[in-house]
Amino acid sequence: MSDDTYVLGHTDRELDRLDLQGALYRDVTRRAFADAGLTTGMRVLDIGCGSGDVSRLAAQTVGESGWVVGIDRDEGSVRSARARTPADSYPNVSFEIGHAARGDIKETFDALVGRFVLMHQDDPAGVLAAAARSVRPRGIVVIIESHMAALLGSQHSVPHSPIYDEVVRWKCGAVKAAGADIEAGLRLRQTFLGAGLSEPTMRLESAVEGGAESRYYRYVVESIRSMLPQAAKAGISGMTEDRLAHLETQLRDEVVGENGSIMAWPVVAAWCIIP
C-alpha cells in the first residue's frame, strides 16, 4: 500500500471508526469465514489488520488451538490492535508491523484473510499473490472488499434520501480521487485470477439500515470525517467539519421521518483453495 493511497488515514479516531465498521460488517465476515472453511486449529494471516477486528473474528473461529497473526504497515494501527485485543481474552492472536508485498511474512499459514485492504493497493493482484505465497497447499484465501460504485447507479434508499445520495456521491468521489478502487468488490475475480489463484467463489451482500438506533448514521459521518484531509488535497468540496456537526442527526431524521430504509455499502466476499 502506498503511503498516500489510504484515504482514511491512521488517526486514533479513524481506528475507532474501524471498530464501528467491524461491528457493521461482522456477520458478513463470519459467514465468509464459515463458508470458506476456516475451522478450529488453523493458523491464519490477516493482512492490513487495522484495529484488529478481522483478526479477533478469525481467532474466535480457530479457537485456542489455532493462531492468528495480523499485520499492518502502520505502526500506530498495530499498537492500537494490540491494545484492543487483550491477551486474557485473545491468547491466540499477535500483531506485527509488516507488508505482504515486501516479503515481510516469513511463516506458513493455513489461511489468508483480509477485509477492505486490496481496494487501497496500487497492485492488488500483486499484493494478494505475495501474501498467498505464505499459505500452504490446500490452504484457504478469503478476501472481502467493498463495491462502493454499486450505490451510484442504483436505488439506495426508499423513500429516496437526498442526504444519503449526497453522502454516497461525495464519499465515492473522495475515495476514487485518492486512488482507491470503488469497484474492488466485483473486481475480486480478476484480482484472484491475476494473482494466480484458483477460480473464487463469490457472494455480494449489503445490510439494509433504518430506524433511530442504527449505528450506520454515525459510521457514515465518521467515514467522511476521516476522509476530509485527503479530500481537501484532491479538491473535493461539499463536506466540512461544520456540516458534519449536524449530518448524523439530519440523515437519521430524514430516514426515520419517512419510516425509510437505506442500503449500506455492498461488499463482496471471495474465497478459494490454494492449489
What is the 3-state composition of the chain as percent helix, strand, coil, each rounded to the nearest 5? 45, 20, 35
Residue 20, domain extent: 12-273
Whether 115 and 106 have beta carbons less than 8 Å apart is answered as no
C-alpha cell at 101: 508485498
Q: Which amino acid does the sequence have at 115?
A: R
Query: What is the rounded CA–CA span in Å between residue 77 and residue 189?
Result: 29
Is position 254 within any domain? yes
CATH number of the domain residue 136 falls in: 3.40.50.150
- Helix 162-177 and helix 216-233, axial crossing angle in degrees, nearest 10: 40
Is position 82 within any domain? yes
Is position 1 within any domain? no
The total of structural domains in the chain comes to 1
Is position 4 within any domain? no
Q: pLDDT tens digits for the chain (275 residues)?
A: 344 344 444 556 666 666 777 788 999 999 999 999 999 999 999 999 988 999 999 999 999 999 999 999 999 889 989 999 999 999 999 999 998 777 778 899 999 999 999 999 999 999 999 999 999 999 999 999 999 999 998 899 999 999 999 999 999 999 999 899 999 999 999 999 999 999 999 999 999 999 999 999 999 999 999 889 889 988 999 999 999 999 999 999 999 999 999 999 999 999 999 98
* Residue 116 Cα to chain centre, angstroms: 3
C-alpha cell at 168: 454516497
Length of the chain as a residue count: 275
